[in-house]
Structure 1
């Protein structure tokens, strides 16, 4: 016959002073951490609670149930929770391997939780109060994260839960928490950072991907932006102004600037400068022009400005490039 207890009695039995487990305490028992031996009438193992800051704590349990235990849970306020079954040797775990559970805040309904006898269960949970999320991020930031809003339900609404895939990045953070060797304030800082990292990874995973800027552009706008590129390449030395380019292809200058960066990952001016320098390099390697002539040919009026940009892009000055080129050809450069 299973042992049936209310949720209050179950946790009171676990957390009684006689069960404090100093042998399993991490780093000798840090402030804000408490470890209890699992009651022998249920099985063996331990339960650990780590208070990181008001509104944020970790729970870790590593237990083996010898006797079936049923916990009666009534309606109760529930924080945001991320629950990872790191190791679960029970038969039912095969269907949820590689998953974790994400719970929103809200009202958890009454239910029975059954702990069946099985070899071992190692789990870690992050508990986060909505008030802390609001304090950390602010209302404006919360509104910009699509995956976050649904997690912040008021206490008079039923909470929601969903199974989520556990990513390799999450698995790494879990192992870093379990193997943390820091002590004192550094331990507190490390564990809090890792808990927040798990929260960020989880929210990122459930946030629908947002279309990129290029995906938000109309196909016709993308075609016009490619026309701008072609216009620039036709005459690098005498390009139209930004407004002139926009007018030629039938866009406004704001759409042109935003769209060009989305399509080519650079500004119109950045693209023009890169193409000018690439063309100047080819002219210098051809050996028919000196530095000033090559600079003028691609639209530079200042030799010093041309030299500085050239060195930044290619790691050598135009004159050094010419000298290297002539050296390879067996002649000397003096222009």
Structure 2
């Protein structure tokens, strides 16, 4: 196990050269430790294929841990919360996003570092699957994760109670042989596709609805269209924790009453009615895909409980989520 030292008084700084040294040229996992007086930070790194690497971290802390990682290139980070809580930011001044156990986030870093704050706690674990954008940039663009101001993007993809089980395909892979690494590469790309698919479907529907709605409801000004695009982006970025109407209106640069009027003109619905429809559309997609329980899908799509999800789904489809899934199976 490599023992590292903190390179600054308050923040563990990791640049491109140190990242390359941590990953190492050889196959398999490499174990590292960052000694601390107030606990321990341990992490493992491994390369699994061209432009794809893994970092698994385990923090046990009596004080806060801060790090700043500069990848020296454009990357996408698929982050899985394994235990505890950590906060991540895309850039030094960007807002921090909370990653909890069971959460799945995607961070797109075009030209900014990723910062981490892990508060004092008994245990906080993460798995980060890092993709060079040369490999997955087109897929991210197709899911609506285009370059944002400052070159960063953070999206909460959802929450899955069974997520840790799927991760065993990576965490339990020794990465020792070419076949091991090929299997890990397949698993990593499959996970990325799995989590991007419903987001891509929602983005596609949002774009089509906006175009037809604007045509039917009258012309909107450029500023209004750009404001609505920012609002739709904020809502789709995290279906589970949408901003308040006041915060959305501030992002759009208009009052909340005007925002709802413009939104209805463009999309045919008010802001949160539109959000509810997209939650149900994403849930329908997940039910068709299979692999997740109804409860998992409910929380993934932002419903407060499985009963709330079932009631909303029945109102829209005339059947429960379980009945909808069974009918799909019966047709095959």
Q: What's the TM-score, normalizing by structure 2?
A: 0.45
Higher alpha-carbon Rg: 1
From the two aligned structures, give the one with the greater strand fraction. Answer: 2
Q: Give the structure, 1 or 2, with the largest relative contact order (CA under 8 Å, sep 6 or more).
A: 2
Q: What's the TM-score, normalizing by structure 1?
A: 0.45
